[in-house]
Amino acid sequence: MNIIENLNSILWVLFGVLTVVEAVLRGVPRLRANPFVAGMMETLDSFWIAMAVALSLKAVWVQPFTIPSGSMEDTLQVGDYILVKKYEYGYSFLNQTPRFLEFQKPQRRDVVVFVFPEDRSKDFIKRCIGIPGDVVELKDSQLYVNGQLQVEPYVKHVMTPMTAISEDGVDSVKVNFGPVTVEPGHYFMMGDNRDNSYDSRYWGQLDEKLIKGRAWFIYWHSVGYAGFAALAALAVAAFTLAALVWALATQRSASPAEAADSQAKAELLKNHLWTIVVCCVLAAGIIGAMGVPNFRDNVQALQQRMFKVIR
């Protein structure tokens, strides 16, 4: 199960479980009188508040999404984890009401996340090509909006117009489409990977009620489970090494009265050293199993894409 994709369900389930546990503990006076239960209730209170804040932020501020397909390459790649600003375009209650609390409306070239009109259990991400009133047309795979040829440095083509026509026929919407006028309250959406995108050319214009938000930035790129485990092991080793260096730098000569404390510190330093060794050995084993070139490529992709603003 992809944790990020199912984050909404996971958070709500955890919130529900915590709420039930809180209600039970508070509803039984004998349990509250127990010191252990009283201490546990304080911890649960903290978790409950944290969950409530997280769900509130996710509902009105930002929400994580993953990129499952290549329809937005090279702007977004499979395995990118992005944050979406939900507040910018305002809100529609259950995707049924007119939008309210709008800071602004979607503009041409915005990258937008929305509920897929043909299957509302899915979310899609595309680029806004046309806003209400625009006339959108494709000629020989070139985009025209209101009669003007659009310069689109983000667009990727994987086939020539002749190849598209030979595969799809003379009516291929990858080559020629429209002109169509964008209706009021609707937007025309297309993927940057024009020849591999299921978008408004196929399923029509997007009702503004289905918009979820504007793509903001990439906060992570998938390196696979093995790569993540290797990076986690190296991170633990690095933090432990920093703690060990700090402990050695601040260690003072112990007086006889501090002998027991010094022994405890020595044992702690020994544990730190063992942690570093174990983590490094574990990381080396994982990297060796997945291949050094493969690990290096994954890390380079992560470095290039992390915290990249989506434009």
* 269 CB-contact burial (10 Å; exposed 0-12 / middle 13-18 / buried 19+): middle
Residues linked to residue 207 through DSSP beta bridges, in sequence order: 186
182 token code pair: 């964008």
DSSP 204: -
Which value, to the nearest 10 degrees, does the dihedral of the CA atoms of residues 249, 251, 252, 257 take? Answer: 180
* 168 CB-contact burial (10 Å; exposed 0-12 / middle 13-18 / buried 19+): middle
Distance CA 234, CA 275 (A): 11
User: Of 9, 56, 58, 71, which is the active-site residue?
Assistant: 71
Q: Which runs of consecutive H residues, i.e. helices, occur in the chain?
A: 7-27, 29-33, 35-60, 161-168, 200-203, 224-250, 259-290, 292-305
Catalytic (active site) residue 166: no
Catalytic (active site) residue 71: yes
CA atoms within 13 A on the CB side of 90: 15
Distance CA 221, CA 77 (A): 9
Reference 22, options 46, 4, 3, 5; nearest CA is 46
User: Of 86, 92, 126, 212, which is the active-site residue?
Assistant: 126
Burial 85-107 (b: 16+ CB within 10 A, else e): bbebbbbbeeeeeeeeeeeebbe
Residues in the chain: 311
Residues linked to residue 136 through DSSP beta bridges, in sequence order: 145, 180
- Tell me which residues are annotated as active site: 71, 126
